[in-house]
Chains A and B, each alone.
Chain A
Amino acid sequence: MTLEVDNVSRTYLGIRRNGTQQVAALGPLSLTIPSREFFAVLGPSGCGKSTLLNVIAGFEKPDTGRVTLDGKPIMSPGPDRAVVFQEPGLMPWLTVRENVEYGLKLRGIKAHERRERAMHFLKMVHLSKYAEARPHELSGGMRQRVAIARALALEPRVLLMDEPFSALDAQTRDLLHDELQRIWIETHVTVVFVTHNINEAVYLADRILLMTAPPGRIKRLVRVPFARPRQKTSSDLSIFATMLQKEIKEEVDKVASREFDPDWTPATRSEVLVDPAAEI
């Protein structure tokens, strides 16, 4: 199975000082993401990362090009491409387990099998104790784990994640990075993971797409050469992240010089304290 992004581009009608006009948000861009790959998308804010993910998910139609999964073009959203959003989006009227089960129920899977499968994935995110709790009784990090379990329970062919941890505090995020690495090693599900966080991408991904300033195109595709399980604290990872940080800084500066007031100038290279943990 492969996910094929073929010459995809997207423009939006944007409101500017001189009236509305078409604003290019993404591409054109082509990618091939092989089965079982953990693929991260990294780029400056507004470069079209979410747009790319939404096109793959089927929420948005590209203006040009198409996305195919196993050669079949993607027309609309569906359970074969599960999405984890920045917010958990759990249904508060259902218990945690029922939330995980709901997608299976729609597929006509029998009650006891559904339950077994839900419990299996809740166990995977260490939440089986909370199966009968309501979402509002959980912390933000726990809710996001339920959202991941719900997505995994669909047994999707691709798991799409749009900044899934960016609303969480640093400690919880670290914990979830470890969880996600472990889950990925266990399941080897294909993941497309959008993020602002370079360390996160380096820690988790097989390959990283660095996107250009908008309209987002491929600046570089980077293979992360480290075996798993990886250690957050490993110096190899931070050296690698620092290297990426420099490339991304160029794109961020491009965005800033376009968007900010004209008196803005980029800090010169020597002044920049390269901090790969910084969000871009």
Chain B
Amino acid sequence: MSSAIRMFAKKLAVQIVFAGVLLLAWEAIVKVGGVPPYLVPPPTSVFAAFVDMATSGILWQSVGLSLYRMAIGYGVSLVLGTVLGILLARSWFVKTTAGSVVLALQSLPSICWLPFALLWVGIDERAILAVVVLGATFAIAVATENAIRNVPPIYLKVGQVLGAKGFVFARDILFFAALPEWLGGMKLGWSFAWRSLMAAELIRKDSLGMGRLLEIGRSFNDVPMMLAAILVIIVVGVTVDWGVFGTIETKVRRLYGLQK
């Protein structure tokens, strides 16, 4: 066994033991310490609530619906944000006019738009998607702009000498030179969209979704279900954030020699 694998196995073992001890301690404190289970349920009832949700199908429907909304909303904001970012980086006019508006909107949590949505259209699917799109678009736009502006000028010169002009330069050199930072922006946009979606789903009464599971639990005073919902939200979030974006980013950064 190589030392790298041994290190990894050791780390994993320590983490599993730590999690086990934590769960046991939690169970013990609740059972022995007399904490009312309707406020802090023991892990066993959280697990039971999870199994309930899974067997009734409500869990899978919710995860599916939330991911579907993310796919649509985030997909739209990726396109919009990237186009806007390219314009901000390349067009003096767009930068001068829309630049400060984008910066201002980027600092505003998109959930602040929900009350408007309530007023204008009510909380329906359009409102949820709008909040997701608003949450991610400006962050992606700003990151895309910076990614392009930070491309070292030497690449422009090298491109000119080698004969890469206009679209060919953008496709072969600018895109790849900006890629690592742009990926960082995509990841940031995803986490903004994700936060916005969970908040919006909490409010929408007539549909499922992971945020909604939390709210259903609350309306039945079902704390185990609420905690189970929280855990599901964490697991899905981490899977996409680390598993998808993190992996791609690490791959690219390694390829470029930006990290070991």
Chain A residues proximal to chain B, CB less than 8 Å: 57-59, 76-79, 81-83, 85, 87, 89, 91-93, 102-103, 106-107, 134-137, 150-151, 154
- Whether the pair B164, A106 counts as a contact (CB closer than 8 A) is yes
Residues of B within 8 A of A81 (CB): 161
For A150, give the chain B residue with the smallest CB separation. Answer: B162
Does B68 count as interface, using CB distance less than 8 angstroms? no
**B-side binding surface: helix, strand, loop or mixed?**
helix
For B172, give the chain A residue with the smallest CB separation. Answer: A102
**Minimum CB–CB distance for B163 against chain A, Å:** 5
For B162, give the chain A residue with the smallest CB separation. Answer: A103
Q: How far, in whole Å, are A160 and B163 apart by their CA atoms in the complex?
A: 16
- B158 CB contact (under 8 Å) in A78, A89, A135, A137: A89
For A54, give the chain B residue with the smallest CB separation. Answer: B157
- Whether the pair B257, A59 counts as a contact (CB closer than 8 A) is no
- Whether the pair B161, A78 counts as a contact (CB closer than 8 A) is yes
Q: How far, in whole Å, are A82 and B163 apart by their CA atoms in the complex?
A: 10
- Whether the pair B176, A91 counts as a contact (CB closer than 8 A) is yes
- Whether the pair A87, B163 counts as a contact (CB closer than 8 A) is no
Residues of A within 8 A of B152 (CB): 89
For A85, give the chain B residue with the smallest CB separation. Answer: B154
- A87 CB contact (under 8 Å) in B154, B162, B176: B154
For A106, give the chain B residue with the smallest CB separation. Answer: B163
Q: How far, in whole Å, are A77 and B158 apart by their CA atoms in the complex?
A: 10
- B161 CB contact (under 8 Å) in A79, A87, A107, A134: A79
7 A-B contacts (beta carbon < 8 Å) = A59-B160, A77-B161, A78-B160, A89-B152, A102-B172, A136-B256, A136-B257
A79-B163, A106-B168 known; A89 and B255 CB under 8 Å?
no
Number of interface residues of B (CB under 8 A): 20
- Whether the pair A89, B162 counts as a contact (CB closer than 8 A) is no
> Which 5 pairs between the two chains have the least Cβ-Cβ distance?
A136-B257, A77-B160, A103-B162, A89-B154, A92-B256
- Whether the pair A107, B157 counts as a contact (CB closer than 8 A) is no
Residues of A within 8 A of B163 (CB): 78-79, 103, 106-107
**Minimum CB–CB distance for B257 against chain A, Å:** 2
- Whether the pair B168, A92 counts as a contact (CB closer than 8 A) is no
Does B87 count as interface, using CB distance less than 8 angstroms? no
With a 10 A CB-CB cut-off, give which of B160, B163, B179, B255 has the most chain A CB atoms: B163
Residues of B within 8 A of A76 (CB): 160
With a 10 A CB-CB cut-off, give which of A57, A103, A150 has the most chain B CB atoms: A103
Residues of B within 8 A of A93 (CB): 176, 179, 255-256
Q: How far, in whole Å, are A134 and B258 apart by their CA atoms in the complex?
A: 12
For B173, give the chain A residue with the smallest CB separation. Answer: A91
Residues of B within 8 A of A102 (CB): 162, 164, 172
Q: How far, in whole Å, are A89 and B156 apart by their CA atoms in the complex?
A: 10
Does B242 count as interface, using CB distance less than 8 angstroms? no
**Minimum CB–CB distance for B142 against chain A, Å:** 24
Q: How far, in whole Å, are A57 and B164 apart by their CA atoms in the complex?
A: 15
- B157 CB contact (under 8 Å) in A79, A89, A103: A89
Does B60 count as interface, using CB distance less than 8 angstroms? no
**Beta-carbon contacts under 8 Å, B142-191 to A:** 152, 154-155, 157-158, 160-164, 168, 172-173, 176-177, 179
